[in-house]
Amino acid sequence: MAEDIKAGPGATAPSSKSPLLTLLMVVNIVAMGVVAYFQYRFMDMESKRPDLTQLLKEKDAPAEGSDEATGEQKAVEIVKKENLLPLDSFTVNLAQGEGPRRYVRLDAVLKMSDSAKAAEFEARKPQIRDSIISILNTKRADDLLKKEGKAYLKEEIKAAINSFLVDGSVEDIYYISFQIN
């Protein structure tokens, strides 16, 4: 009986594959190759990027021929580690606008002038925190989401802190993290 069932001239063998499956496999292999290529390019680019210790060594060494050959001078700001004073994290409710209650999480570092003393900063830390919290409580999320709003906030915080510092002043504020929820 098994011998009676024979494939006719137009019948296909049961083990033949669909051309759609073959096409999908080829597309999959090409896509994997493209991903592998871009991964290789990214890893090659990362390996050529200098590490932090190399950048710090280059920053400390004076540039001899690179800037003078092009005729341009780059303004490089040198920040001493002693002048950077980190603030503790802030989680502050923002001013109520339309919609749900919003709050901001902020981590910042103050860049103090050379004449600033760390002892005064430590003594005034509660005052500094209070003024920053008061300023943040008056802001709405829409104001802080813009780049100009964040820059204006820096200037406002800087002016508030400088108003009660005796020795030295805050020259700049660096945001370490800035999240609005």
pLDDT in tens, 10-61: 555 555 668 999 999 999 999 999 999 999 998 888 888 777 676 667 766 6
Q: Is residue 31 part of a domain?
A: yes
In a domain, 56, yes or no: yes
| 43 domain residue, yes or no | yes
- Same domain as 86, residue 63: no
- The answer to whether position 5 is within a domain reads no
- Determine, yes or no, domain membership for 34: yes
34 and 102 co-located in one domain: no
- Claim to verify: residue 89 and residue 165 sit in the same structural domain: yes
Residue 72 has what pLDDT?
52
Within a domain: 13: no
Give me the number of domains the chain comprises.
2
Q: Quick one: 98 and 159 in the same domain?
A: yes
pLDDT-based confidence at 69, cuts 50/70/90? very low
DSSP structure string for the chain: -TTT----TTPPPTTPPPHHHHHHHHHHHHHHHHHHHHHHHHHHHHHHSPPHHHHHHHHHSPP-SHHHHHT---------GGGEEEPPPEEEEPPP-SSS--EEEEEEEEEE-TT--HHHHHHHHHHHHHHHHHHHHT--HHHHTSHHHHHHHHHHHHHHHHTT-SSS-EEEEEEEEEEE-
**Residues 90 and 157 both lie in one domain:** yes
Last residue of a domain, one of 11, 46, 70: 70
* Residue that is last in its domain, among 9, 41, 70: 70
Q: Is residue 1 part of a domain?
A: no
The whole-model pTM stands at: 0.56
Q: What is the mean pLDDT of residues 68-97?
A: 72
List pLDDT tens digits, range 144-178: 888 898 999 999 999 999 998 888 889 999 999 99
Residues 108 and 174 in one domain: yes
Same domain, 58 and 110: no
Are residues 100 and 154 part of one domain? yes
Does residue 93 sit in the same domain as residue 174? yes
Which residues have CB under 8 Å from 4's CB, separation 6+? Answer: none
pLDDT at position 155 is: 93
User: The domain containing residue 31 runs over which residues?
Assistant: 19-70
Asked, for residue 12, whether it belongs to a domain, the answer is no
Q: Do 130 and 43 share a structural domain?
A: no
